[in-house]
Structure 1
């Protein structure tokens, strides 16, 4: 059974830029895709993985 992501969203901080990603809900996790190339598909994460990623971003671990 294929589960399709719902509720795709782009960060409000992205403004009109197209070099960003969109996040959608899938099951108990998240789906992420490239805004410029939506037809390329998406990858999924669990809720725990997505939460850990967001915490790392908030804590500037990628800078």
Structure 2
């Protein structure tokens, strides 16, 4: 079964041409990541704990 993601948010670092990366959240807390330039049905699913670790590392290293 495919999860339903809601509350899609666009990255603040998106290009003004409309192509962007968005994140949404499923009811079980799973994070969905999609690229609006590609097939919107292709969603990378990330566990909440792993998403938190990724964000912490990005903030720590200043990517």
**Shorter-normalised TM range:** 0.7 to 0.9
Distance in structure 2 (CA, Å) of the matches to 1:58 and 1:34: 21
Cα-Cα RMSD? 2.2
Are 1:21 and 2:21 counterparts? yes
Q: Which runs of 4+ in 1 moved over 6 A?
A: none
Higher share of residues assigned helix? 1
Normalization by structure 1: what TM-score?
A: 0.75
Q: What is the total number of aligned residue pairs between the two structures?
A: 62
TM-score norm. by structure 2 comes to: 0.75
1:28 to partner: Cα distance? 1.3
Q: Which blocks of at least 5 consecutive residues in structure 2 are unaligned?
A: none
